[in-house]
Amino acid sequence: MTGFLLDENLSSSTRDFLIGLGYDVKSVADYKMLGCADYNVLKKLDS
């Protein structure tokens, strides 16, 4: 199944909705990367 990485501007209700549909969902908060630039988030998760 497709997974999603949610940026911090998306609500927890959006996360819960996607999880309820069966998607694998993580947010930048799960990686303790709130406030980080998108480039740095993607770079960290790609490694």
Rounded distance between C-alpha atoms, residue 18 and residue 47, angstroms: 25
Chain position carrying tokens 């996607």: 18
* pLDDT tens digit sequence for 19-34: 999 999 999 998 999 9
Domain extent listing, the chain: 3-46
In the predicted structure, residue 45 carries a pLDDT above the cut 90:
no
DSSP-assigned beta bridge partners for residue 6:
27
Q: What percent of the chain has pLDDT over 90?
A: 66
- CA 43, 46, 3, 35: dihedral to nearest 10 degrees? -20
pTM for the full model?
0.72
pLDDT of residue 1: 60
pLDDT of residue 21: 93
Count of C-beta atoms within a 10 Å radius of residue 27:
18
